[in-house]
Structure 1
Amino acid sequence: MIIKSKFTPASGLSNAHLQTLLPTFVRNKLKFNGVNQTLELEDGDFLDLVWTEKPKNNTPIVIIFHGLEGSIDSPYAKGIMLALKKQGWSGLLMHFRGCSIKGNRLARSYHSGETGDAKILLNWLQTHYPDSPLAAVGFSLGGNMLLKLQAELADSSPFKAVVSVCPPMLLNACANRLSKGFSRIYQRHLIGHLKRKLLIKAELHNYSQLINLNTKKINQLTSFWQFDDQVTAPLHGFKGVNDYYDQSSARQYLKKIKSPSLILLALDDPFMTQDIIPDESELSLNTQLELSRHGGHVGFIGGSILRPEFWLEKRIPEYLSEFI
Structure 2
Amino acid sequence: MPILASSYRPPRFLANGYLQSILPTLFRRLDDAHLTRERIDTDDGDFLDLDWSCQGSDTLVIVSHGLEGHSRRPYVLGTVREANRNGWDALAWNFRSCSGEMNRLPRMYHSGATDDLHRVVLHALTRGYRAIHLVGYSMGGNLSLVYTGREAHLLPEAVKSVAAFSVPCDLRSSAFQLAKWQNRIFMWRFLKDLRVKMADKAQRFPGRVTLKGYDDMSSFQEFDDRYTAPLHGFRDAEDYWHQSSSLRYLHQIRIPALLVNARNDPFLSPACFPVDIARQHPSLTLEMPDSGGHVGFIRRTPDQTYWMEQRAMAFIRSAHTVTADTLEKQPQTA
Deviation digits for residues 28-47 of structure 1 (CA, Å, limit 9, x no counterpart): x3212200000111111000
For residues 284-323 of structure 1, the aligned pairs below 5 Å read 284-303=281-300, 309-323=305-319
CA contact (8 A) 2:160 2:255 kept: yes
Q: Quote the offset at 1:323 in angstroms.
A: 2.9
User: Which residue does 2:61 correspond to in 1?
Assistant: 62
The answer to whether the aligner puts 1:186 opposite 2:186 as a matched pair is yes
TM-score, scaled to structure 1:
0.92
Q: Quote the offset at 1:308 in angstroms.
A: 6.2
Equivalent in 241, 247, 257 of residue 243 of structure 2: 247
CA contact (8 A) 2:198 2:211 kept: no
User: Which residue does 1:84 correspond to in 2?
Assistant: 83
Please tell me the residue identity of whatever aligns with 1:171: L
The answer to whether the aligner puts 1:97 opposite 2:127 as a matched pair is no
- CA distance in 1 between counterparts of 2:37 and 2:229 reads 31
The answer to whether the aligner puts 1:172 opposite 2:147 as a matched pair is no
What runs of 5+ residues in structure 2 fail to find an aligned partner?
Answer: 321-334
- CA distance in 2 between counterparts of 1:245 and 1:316 reads 27
For residues 118-267 of structure 1, the aligned pairs below 5 Å read 118-126=117-125, 128-154=126-152, 157-158=155-156, 159-206=159-206, 209-210=207-208, 213-267=209-263
**What's the secondary structure of 1:51's corresponding residue?**
strand
- CA distance in 1 between counterparts of 2:305 and 2:53 reads 21
- CA distance in 2 between counterparts of 1:139 and 1:115 reads 15
**What's the secondary structure of 2:288's corresponding residue?**
strand
Deviation digits for residues 104-142 of structure 1 (CA, Å, limit 9, x no counterpart): 00000110011011111222222x123431111010001
- CA distance in 2 between counterparts of 1:309 and 1:122 reads 27
- CA distance in 1 between counterparts of 2:248 and 2:309 reads 28
Q: Quote the offset at 1:165 in angstroms.
A: 0.7
Report the identity percentage: 35
- Aligned CA-pair RMSD: 1.8
Deviation digits for residues 230-249 of structure 1 (CA, Å, limit 9, x no counterpart): 00000000000100011111
Please tell me the residue identity of whatever aligns with 1:292: P
How many residue pairs align between the two structures? Answer: 315
The answer to whether the aligner puts 1:35 opposite 2:36 as a matched pair is yes
What runs of 5+ residues in structure 1 fail to find an aligned partner?
Answer: none
